[in-house]
Amino acid sequence: MCNQPSTYDLLIIGGGINGAGIAADASGRGLNVMLCEMNDLASATSSSSSKLIHGGLRYLEHYEFRLVKEALTEREILLKKAPHIIWPMRFLLPHQPHLRPAWMIRAGLFLYDHLATRTTLGPSKGIEFNVNSPLVSEISNGFEYSDGWVDDARLVILNAMAAHDAGASIKTRTQCINAKRYADHWVVTLQNTLNGEIQTIATKALVNASGPWVTDLLSNVIQLMSVPSSSQKKIRLVKGSHIVVPRIYKGPEAFILQNKDDRIIFVIPYENKYSLIGTTDVEYEGDPSAVSISKEEIDYLITVTNEHFKAQISSNDITWCYSGVRPLLDDDESDSAQAVSRDYSFEIDTADSKAPLLSVFGGKITTYRKLAEAAVDKLGEYYSDVGAAWTENTPIPGGDFKDHASLSNDLGKRYPWLPSELRARYVRTYGTLSYTLINDASSLKCLGENFGAGLYSAEINYLLTYEWALTSEDILWRRTKLGLRLSEAEKNYLTQHLENLLRD
């Protein structure tokens, strides 16, 4: 990455979806932006979701109509902006009369269909399950509706790429260790977490988009001349855990399972050969960096799944599991984790100065773009020449194509030697960025060494060069999901290869 000046219009702390979204929006409006992230992009909450772009059907029970409407509107926008990593998915909801009456579900689905304009996705409907259904025989009917799937970590990375393309400086493995406000600017101290190097920069405004660490930064890192109003906001940490098992049913649909404790479990087709099951929604206290799935959560997900499906699973079937901590806005009223609002809020503190601090609280992946747009609109009041909002109709990097089939056909014509399975993965991971990755290769051999499961040297070099990847975890679990397919020996070999590259 090229050298940047030491004075910025905006410094963003946090490389999750909100930070990356704000960086992209602000850079595209002409602001000189730096984003710092103490680990890898999307290394915490933003890569640990249920991988859905959705309105939030269950939020209707908590009367969050504004949030659902906004999320449904954003769902349509994002399906068009990112067709490589976001695509439609049908959801089947088995009806359990003792949990929710049919009239209530029908009413909720009617609202879900009509709260916002729906142009891409089909309407909801009632369905019957026959003997070929993967569900247990006791479940005979249910409902079907549409939402969207997303590769959550790649959405973050591609927004960071959009910001970088617009001139932003993206600093991973860079922690903000001090930020002090003066009359019209901030002086911020950054530390490289790999080599300990210190950098001091000045910025006209500061954004705290550090997710689960937002209040920690306000208390321990960001120095203010007075107690900020934003410190009155509280976040509630809610852990969501997921397990991945070999595919337990055929078909492209996902299932949304109701449980007697009012929690909802998704069972989603994942990476062709697997089923993704989650989430758990449990209160969490402690270091967000140390979050992990508990035995109780594993047992819970297995029990709910086995109550619904003919194919039974056990802990021995788990191929992978992950947990994330969601920093939800505490309303002081919700008595359960699943009832806490997924809405977002941000507040600006200026303390009568010209150096604003904007802190982001809560939020969900589906509404990240709207949050970013609103945040930059608010920050724009402190600048004289901020451009207009621009992200609604602009594809994110790699998303400038019609559909998977057409892009796959074009790649097949240009690179007829490219195996169909690899071509399909490139389409749904990189979109038109596949052309940059493959470049002028004229044969499979030209892509270099195969590190396993179709991970060639060309892809590794692309990720190191353009997507801030450094480690095997960055590549195997956030830029791709090939960690599911590589053996331990192959993973170790890749780790050693990357260490040698960086050493050289």
**Residue 328 β-bridge partners:** 236
Question: Does residue 67 belong to any structural domain of this protein?
Answer: no
Secondary structure E strands in 63-185: 86-94, 125-128, 141-150, 169-171, 174-181
Question: Does residue 387 belong to any structural domain of this protein?
Answer: no
Residues 6+ apart with CB under 8 A from 275: 244, 245, 246, 247, 248, 249, 267, 268, 269
Say yes or no: 370 and 455 in one domain.
no
Domain at 477, CATH number: 1.10.8.870
Question: Does residue 396 belong to any structural domain of this protein?
Answer: no
CA 240 to chain centre: 13
Say yes or no: 326 and 252 in one domain.
yes
Domain at 198, CATH number: 3.50.50.60
**What is the Cα–Cα distance from 386 to 60, expressed in whole angstroms?**
36
User: In angstroms, what is the C-alpha Rg of the chain?
Assistant: 23
Say yes or no: 41 and 140 in one domain.
no
**What is the Cα–Cα distance from 80 to 393, expressed in whole angstroms?**
8
Q: Tell me which residue range forms the domain holding 127.
A: 87-147+235-336
Cα–Cα nearest to 170, from 264, 333, 42: 42
Q: What kind and span of H or E run contains 110?
A: helix 102-114
Instruction: Give residue 3's pLDDT.
Output: 47
Residues 6+ apart with CB under 8 A from 278: 50, 240, 241, 242, 243, 265, 266, 301
Instruction: Read off the pLDDT band of 6 (50, 70, 90).
Output: confident
Question: Does residue 312 belong to any structural domain of this protein?
Answer: yes
Say yes or no: 257 and 190 in one domain.
no
Say yes or no: 141 and 239 in one domain.
yes
Instruction: Give residue 227's pLDDT.
Output: 47
Predicted confidence (pLDDT) at residue 276 exceeds the cutoff of 90? yes
Say yes or no: 372 and 459 in one domain.
no
Percent of the chain with pLDDT over 90: 84
The structure tokens listed for 377 are: 């609109």
Question: Does residue 249 belong to any structural domain of this protein?
Answer: yes
Say yes or no: 239 and 332 in one domain.
yes
Instruction: Give residue 2's pLDDT.
Output: 44
User: Based on the structure, what is the number of domains in the chain?
Assistant: 3
Say yes or no: 209 and 162 in one domain.
yes
For range 457-464, the mean pLDDT: 98
Domain at 251, CATH number: 3.30.9.10
Instruction: Give residue 329's pLDDT.
Output: 77
- Domain boundary residue, one of 305, 336, 367: 336
Say yes or no: 244 and 129 in one domain.
yes
Is the bond preceding residue 391 a cis peptide, omega within 30 degrees? no
- Domain boundary residue, one of 382, 412, 445: 382
Question: Does residue 307 belong to any structural domain of this protein?
Answer: yes
Question: Does residue 398 belong to any structural domain of this protein?
Answer: no
Say yes or no: 229 and 366 in one domain.
yes
Say yes or no: 362 and 295 in one domain.
no
| Tens digits of residue pLDDT in 231-251 | 456 788 999 999 999 999 999
Using CA of residue 53, residue 59, residue 60, residue 65, what is the dihedral sign?
negative
Say yes or no: 435 and 494 in one domain.
yes
| Tens digits of residue pLDDT in 314-351 | 999 999 999 999 988 776 555 555 545 667 888 899 87
Question: Does residue 497 belong to any structural domain of this protein?
Answer: yes
